[in-house]
C-alpha cells in the first residue's frame, strides 16, 4: 500500500511543472468558454453533440499551437483526443438505434462501451505518467495468507463485471431454446434465464477466487461469513430474492398484469429479484413493492386470466319515475359510451328504495382495468345528459315539517300546506 501511495504522490509531482499547469489552464479555458458561449440562443439551436465536438477540436488546436512554439503539449493532446473519442462514441448511438430498441442501446452503451472506453483511457493516461505493468505488481495486502496485487485485483473485478454484464444474452438464448423445446411458460422462461445468469456469475466468482489463490478453506470461511450475514443484516434481501424467483416460476405476478393496491389499480411494469415495479395511473407514479409482500398479503388481480373487468356506477332517481323506464335508459346510455363493451351487455339493476330516491346500479364491462376511472366518469356524464333529455329527476335529501299540537295524541297531519326544507 505504501508503494501505491508513493506512486500516486509521484504522479502529483507532475503538477509542479509549468508546462503541465499551462496545459491544464488552457483546458479549463476551453471548458469555461464553451459553457459561456453555449448559453447564447443561436448555439442552442445546434445539436447537443456539437458542443463537446467543438471543445475537443479546440483543445487539439491549442496543443498544436503549443508544439509549434516548442512547448510540451502531450497531456493536452491526450486529453483532446480522449474527449474527441468520447464524443464520437456518443455519435455511434445512431446506427445502433436503427436495429435495436432505445432502452437496449442505452444499456449497451452505459454498461459496455462507455466503461470499456474509460478503462482504456485510464490505462493510456497511466502509461503517459508511468508504466501500467510496474503498477500492476504493487502489493496492496493479504487475504487468508494470499498476497494481493493491483493487477490481480483489477483483473478479478473486470472478470466479475464482465460476467455480470455479458451473462445475460447467453442465458436468455438458452432459456428461449428450452422454452421452444420443452414448452415452458413465459414466467418460467424468465425465471430460468435469471437463474442461469446468476449461476454463471457464481461459477465465475468461484473461478476468480481460485485464480487469486484462495483455497477451499478460505472459500468456506467466506461462505460462513455470508451465512451469518443472512441471519442478521441481509435476511430480507435474500427472502425477496427467493420470492422473486418463485413468482417468476409460478406466474402469479407477471409484467402487464393489473393489481389493486390500496384501492388503486396498478400495472406491473417489471418483476425484479428484489422488488416488483408497479405503475399507478392516477398520478403517474412508479411503486417498488418487495417481492415477499405478495406472499404475506392478499392481492386482487384483474388480469390473471382475462383483462376484462366489470365496473359499476350508482345513481338515484325520483319515486315518480317508472323503474322499468329508468333501467332501460341506463342500459341504452352505457352502450353509447365508446369504451364500454357491447358484449357482455350493460345491465341496470334496482338496488333499494331509499329515503328520498330509488337507488339504481349500472354495471358494464371494460377492456382495460387501468381505464376504469376515466370510463366511469364518461358514463356518469352520459347518464346526466340522458336524464336531462328525458326529464328524469335526481332528487336530493329533503325533509317536510308540520305544525304539531300538544298533546301528541291530538295532532292531525297537515297535508294541505307542507313546508319542505332541504
- The per-residue pLDDT for range 154-203, each reduced to its tens digit, is 888 888 888 777 777 777 778 778 777 877 666 667 767 777 777 787 78
Residue with cell 464553451: 34
Q: How many whole angstroms separate alpha carbon 225 and alpha carbon 280?
A: 40
Give percent of the chain above pLDDT 70: 76
CB 34 within 8 A of CB 80: no
pLDDT at residue 316 above 90?
yes
**Cα–Cα nearest to 291, from 369, 238, 336:** 238
pLDDT at 353: 92
The percentage of the chain sitting over the pLDDT mark of 90, rounded to a whole number, equals 15
Query: In angstroms, rounded to a whole number, what is the distance separating the alpha carbons of residues 50 and 8?
Result: 35
State residue 381's pLDDT score.
95
List CB contacts of 21: < 8 A, sequence separation 6 or more: 15
Question: Which of the four pLDDT bands, split at 50, 70 and 90, describes residue 322?
Answer: very high
How many whole angstroms separate alpha carbon 149 and alpha carbon 137? 6
Residue-level pLDDT at 417? 47
Mean pLDDT comparison of 5-19, 100-114, 339-353, highest-scoring range: 339-353
Task: Please tell me whether the overall predicted TM-score, pTM, comes out greater than 0.85 for this model.
Answer: no
- Kindly state the helix (H) or strand (E) to which residue 323 belongs, with its residue range: helix 323-336
CA gap 32, 58 in Å, rounded: 12
Strand partners, 258: 267
In whole angstroms, give the CA distance from residue 153 to residue 217. Answer: 20
The mean-pLDDT minimum among 236-250, 264-278, 326-340, 349-363 falls in 236-250
- Segment 260-268 shows an average pLDDT of 77
More confident position, 45 or 384: 384
Amino acid at each position: 500500500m505504501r508503494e501505491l501511495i508513493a506512486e500516486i504522490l509521484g504522479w502529483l509531482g507532475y503538477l509542479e511543472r509549468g508546462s503541465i499547469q499551462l496545459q491544464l489552464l488552457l483546458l479549463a479555458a476551453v471548458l469555461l468558454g464553451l459553457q459561456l458561449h453555449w448559453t447564447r440562443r443561436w448555439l442552442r439551436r445546434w445539436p447537443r453533440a456539437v458542443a463537446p465536438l467543438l471543445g475537443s477540436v479546440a483543445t487539439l488546436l491549442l496543443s498544436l499551437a503549443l508544439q509549434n512554439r516548442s512547448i510540451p503539449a502531450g497531456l493536452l493532446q491526450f486529453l483532446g483526443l480522449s474527449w474527441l473519442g468520447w464524443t464520437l462514441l456518443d455519435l455511434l448511438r445512431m446506427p445502433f438505434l436503427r436495429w435495436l430498441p432505445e432502452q437496449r442501446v442505452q444499456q449497451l452503451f452505459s454498461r459496455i462501451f462507455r466503461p470499456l472506453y474509460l478503462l482504456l483511457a485510464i490505462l493510456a493516461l497511466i502509461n503517459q505518467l508511468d508504466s501500467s505493468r510496474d503498477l500492476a505488481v504493487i502489493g496492496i495486502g493479504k487475504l487468508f495468507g494470499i498476497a494481493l496485487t493491483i493487477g490481480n485485483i483489477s483483473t478479478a473485478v473486470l472478470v466479475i463485471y464482465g460476467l455480470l454484464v455479458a451473462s445475460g444474452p447467453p442465458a436468455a438464448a438458452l432459456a428461449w431454446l428450452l422454452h421452444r423445446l420443452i414448452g415452458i411458460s413465459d414466467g418460467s422462461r424468465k425465471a430460468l434465464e435469471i437463474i442461469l445468469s446468476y449461476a454463471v456469475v457464481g461459477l465465475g466468482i468461484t473461478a476468480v477466487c481460485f485464480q487469486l489463490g484462495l483455497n477451499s478453506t478460505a472459500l468456506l470461511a467466506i461462505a460462513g461469513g455470508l451465512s451469518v450475514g443472512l441471519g442478521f443484516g441481509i435476511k430480507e434481501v435474500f427472502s425477496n430474492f427467493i420470492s422473486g424467483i418463485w413468482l417468476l416460476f409460478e406466474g402469479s405476478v407477471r409484467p402487464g398484469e393489473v393489481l389493486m393496491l390500496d384501492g388503486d389499480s396498478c400495472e406491473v411494469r417489471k418483476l425484479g429479484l428484489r422488488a416488483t415495479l408497479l405503475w399507478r395511473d392516477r398520478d403517474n407514479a412508479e411503486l417498488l413493492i418487495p417481492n415477499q409482500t405478495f406472499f404475506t398479503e392478499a392481492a386482487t388481480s384483474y388480469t390473471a386470466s382475462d383483462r376484462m373487468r366489470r365496473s359499476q356506477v350508482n345513481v338515484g332517481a325520483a319515486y315518480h319515475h317508472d323503474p322499468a323506464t329508468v333501467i332501460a335508459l341506463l342500459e341504452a346510455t352505457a352502450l353509447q359510451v365508446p369504451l364500454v363493451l357491447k358484449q357482455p351487455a350493460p345491465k341496470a339493476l334496482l338496488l333499494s328504495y331509499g329515503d328520498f330516491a330509488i337507488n339504481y346500479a349500472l354495471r358494464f364491462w371494460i377492456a382495460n382495468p387501468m381505464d376504469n376511472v376515466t370510463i366511469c366518469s364518461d358514463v356518469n356524464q352520459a347518464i346526466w345528459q340522458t336524464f336531462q333529455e328525458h326529464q328524469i329527476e335526481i332528487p336530493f335529501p329533503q325533509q317536510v315539517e308540520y305544525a304539531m299540537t300538544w298533546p301528541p295524541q291530538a295532532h292531525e297531519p297537515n297535508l294541505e300546506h307542507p313546508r319542505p326544507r332541504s
